[in-house]
Each structure stands twice: as C-alpha cells, then as structure tokens.
Amino acid sequence: MNKALLQELMHLSPAERVEIAQELWDSVEEADLPPLTPAQMEEIHRRIAEHERDPSRAIPWEDVRERLRARFK
C-alpha cells in the first residue's frame, strides 16, 4: 500500500473519502473477492433456513433503510 497516498487521502473531507471508498469497492470484481470462510457459509445457510421456516419475519429493505436513517441522523 502506498502510505503517502493514503495520508494524502486522509486530508479529504469525509464525503470525499466515502465517495472514493465507494468507487474503490465498486471497482472490485466479484471474482476477485476472497472466498467466504466455512463459518460465514454456515451462517448464510442458517439464515436462509430460518427465513424459509418463517418468511413472515422478514423486513423489507425499504423499512430497514428508513430505520437506519432515522437512527443515525
């Protein structure tokens, strides 16, 4: 990692840093991501099974997003 570049980026505004972080994240192809660990895969399977047992407990993304926005205003 280029430490000098990182230090320079840290002088940007928070909004600019978020924008750069998002652009960097978007530039990573799915195939380039590290594989999930067995524990992560187990958790995914557990959550899917839980949802399949009782799909009525799911909360729509729009509701979750609004709760988060209200919480972190």
Residue 42 to residue 62: CA distance in whole angstroms: 27
Predicted local confidence at residue 73, as pLDDT: 81
Please, which pLDDT band fits residue 1 given cuts at 50, 70 and 90?
confident
For range 10-23, the mean pLDDT: 96
Contacts of 66 (CB under 8 A, 6+ apart): none
For range 2-23, the mean pLDDT: 96
Percent of the chain with pLDDT over 90: 97
Q: Cβ atoms within 10 A of the Cβ of 17, count?
A: 13
Contacts of 11 (CB under 8 A, 6+ apart): none
64: its two tokens: 């979750």
Tell me the whole-structure pTM to 2 decimals: 0.55
User: 41: left (phi > 0), else alpha (psi -120 to 50), else beta?
Assistant: alpha
